[in-house]
């Protein structure tokens, strides 16, 4: 059986696995959801059957179950050749992916305070695969690493310098693997090299962020110290006035409750009062549900405002790129966002925008648009697989 690389992505209550061959073609994928709950479940892509999980199954239990399915189905040998892990926060320690050892694990633990919902479960996936495959090279690929090129003017908050010096209070940025992939793909489609491409990359899903990429490196982004800052998201508020905490404390609401609501009950869900799913919001809005239309309006306006802000970090713009579940699939959101950017010269072709999946280059701008506008499906798993195989030195570069 040929060499494979396993990609592990642990969310707060979910686990995603992907298996790639030595040419970085995806062989299989698996998803476990509602981990830690009594109704935990899993399935493997391509298999027409549910994978049973014990009630309250943990990340490591789900991982071992799904890896066993990969092996039993003949998709993977007794062990992969390399394993790549998505790790949300690498702080200022990691500017690129790293082979996992005790020092790397300690550094990821040290960053847990910056991503308490993510780094601990990322570590659970790392520990589970290290226990199962102790002799296999494993790599940590950090969401924040791509943004470690931000200049000080972009990453510093205007707060006492000691907060940054002593506690690391600064803007870090996230979705780095997706934004890095967008820059590389846009360069290929526009006939440029990655080192000369300058794009604004909008990753829009349940989590949303935008990045200004100049000459292939990140120079600004919307997310900050945590993934809460920036754009309106599915359940996250994005930017709010910090004075909100004091205001709500005066209403008897504790800071931890405000933090929970801003992360879990705000964004599209909070504005609409119905759902965080953009497809459902559009359907509700079309049937006259005004709060859902308001949620769409706020989402698109805030996105357009951030696109305009990203222009300040670029000397030229080769393209605006949409990606992520919303960015790739919602022609309506793209059109309503671009509508706010006419003064900057952006203009879409309605036909191309509505049928972008039929065109291989992904371009959706009109002939009169000042800048190209592209839709490119993201592939964070592929980035992680490539990084893991590169660091392991075991697979053929793709």
Q: Which domain holds residue 184?
A: 176-380
Based on the domain organization, do 203 and 91 belong to the same domain?
Answer: no
What average pLDDT does the segment 389-397 reach? 70
User: Do residues 108 and 201 both lie within one domain?
Assistant: no
Q: Catalytic annotation on 54?
A: no
User: Does residue 387 lie within any of the structural domains?
Assistant: no
Residue 204 labelled as part of a binding site: yes
Domain at 79, CATH number: 3.30.420.40
Among 36-45, 229-238, 249-258, 297-306, name the one with the lowest average pLDDT: 36-45
pLDDT at 358 over 70: no
170 assigned ligand-binding residue: no
Query: What would the pLDDT profile of 45-98 be if each residue is shown by its tens digit?
Result: 877 778 889 888 999 899 999 999 999 988 888 899 999 999 999 999 999 999
Report the distance separating Cα 341 and Cα 346, nearest Å. 6
Strand, helix or coil at 266?
A: coil
My answer on whether 89 and 235 are in the same domain is no
| Domain annotation covers residue 106 | yes
Query: 218 with 101, same domain?
Result: no
Task: Tell me the whole-structure pTM to 2 decimals.
Answer: 0.91
The answer to the question of residue 158 being in a domain is no
Q: State the catalytic residue, choosing from 21, 60, 143, 318.
A: 143
| 351 marked among binding-site residues | no
pLDDT score, position 32:
92
Q: What is the 3-state secondary structure (H, E, C) of the chain?
A: CCCEEEEEEECCCCEEEEEEECCCCEEEEEEEECCCCCCCEEEECCCCCEECCCCCCCHHHHHHHHHHHHHHCCCCCCCCCEEEEEECCCCCCCCCCEECCHHHHHHHHHCHHHCCCCHHHHHHHHHHHHHHCCCCCEEEEECCHHHHHCCHHHHCCCCCHHHHHHHCCCCCCCCHHHHHHHHHHHHHHHCCCCCCCCEEEEEECCCEEEEEEECCEEEEECCCCCCCCCCCCCCCCCCCCCHHHHHHHCCCCCHHHHHHHHHHCCHHHHHHCCCCCHHHHHHHHHCCCHHHHHHHHHHHHHHHHHHHHHHHHCCCCCEEEEEHHHHHHCHHHHHHHHHCCHHHCCCECHHHHHCHHHCCCCECECCCCCCCEEECCCCHHHHHHHHHHHHHCCCCCC
Residue 182 known to bind ligand: no
Q: Is the pLDDT of residue 398 over 60?
A: no
Both 135 and 194 in one domain: the answer is: no
Q: Are residues 137 and 255 in the same domain?
A: no
Q: What is the tens place of the pLDDT at every residue in 296-337? A: 999 999 999 999 999 999 999 999 999 999 999 999 999 999
Query: Any binding-site annotation on 326?
Result: yes
Residues with Cβ < 8 Å from 229, sequence gap 6 or more? 171, 222, 223, 238, 239
* Nearest-angstrom CA–CA distance, 96 and 336: 36
pLDDT at 170 over 70: yes
Say if residue 233 carries a ligand binding annotation.
no
pLDDT at 202 over 50: yes
Would you say residue 1 has pLDDT above 90?
no
Same domain, 271 and 366: yes
Residue 209 covered by a domain: yes
């Amino acid at each position: 059986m040929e060499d494979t690389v396993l990609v592990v992505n642990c969310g707060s209550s979910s686990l995603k696995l992907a298996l790639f061959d030595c040419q970085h073609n995806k062989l299989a994928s698996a998803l476990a959801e509602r981990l830690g709950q009594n109704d935990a479940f899993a399935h493997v892509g391509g298999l027409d059957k549910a994978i049973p999980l014990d009630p309250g199954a943990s990340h490591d239990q789900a991982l071992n179950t799904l890896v066993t399915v990969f092996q039993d189905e003949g998709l993977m040998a007794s062990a992969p050749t390399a394993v790549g892990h998505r790790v949300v926060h690498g702080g200022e320690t990691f500017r690129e992916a790293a082979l996992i050892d005790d020092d790397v694990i300690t550094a990821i633990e040290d960053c847990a305070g910056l991503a308490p919902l993510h780094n601990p479960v990322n570590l659970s996936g790392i520990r589970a695969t290290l226990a199962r495959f102790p002799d296999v090279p494993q790599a940590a690929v950090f969401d924040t690493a791509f943004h470690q090129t931000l200049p000080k003017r972009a990453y510093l908050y205007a707060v006492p310098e000691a907060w940054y010096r002593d506690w690391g209070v600064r803007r870090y940025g996230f979705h780095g693997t997706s934004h890095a992939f967008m820059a590389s793909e846009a360069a290929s489609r526009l006939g440029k090299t990655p080192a000369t491409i300058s794009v604004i990359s909008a990753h829009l899903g349940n989590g949303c962020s935008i990045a200004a990429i100049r000459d292939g490196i990140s120079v600004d982004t919307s997310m900050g110290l945590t993934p809460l800052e920036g754009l309106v998201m599915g359940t996250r508020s994005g930017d709010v006035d910090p004075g909100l905490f004091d205001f709500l404390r005066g209403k008897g609401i504790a800071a931890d409750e405000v933090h929970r609501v801003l992360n879990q009950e705000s964004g599209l869900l909070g504005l609409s009062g119905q759902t965080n799913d953009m497809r459902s919001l559009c359907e509700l809005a079309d049937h006259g549900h005004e709060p859902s239309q308001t949620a769409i309006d706020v989402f698109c306006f805030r996105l357009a405002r951030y696109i305009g802000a990203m222009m300040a970090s670029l000397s030229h713009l080769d393209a605006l790129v949409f990606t992520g579940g919303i960015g790739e699939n919602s022609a309506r959101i793209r059109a309503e966002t671009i509508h706010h950017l006419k003064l900057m010269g952006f203009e879409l072709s309605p036909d191309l925008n509505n049928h972008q999946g039929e065109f291989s280059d992904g371009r959706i701008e009109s002939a009169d648009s000042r800048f190209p506008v592209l839709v490119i499906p993201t592939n964070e798993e592929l980035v992680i697989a490539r990084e893991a195989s590169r660091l392991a030195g075991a697979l053929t570069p793709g």
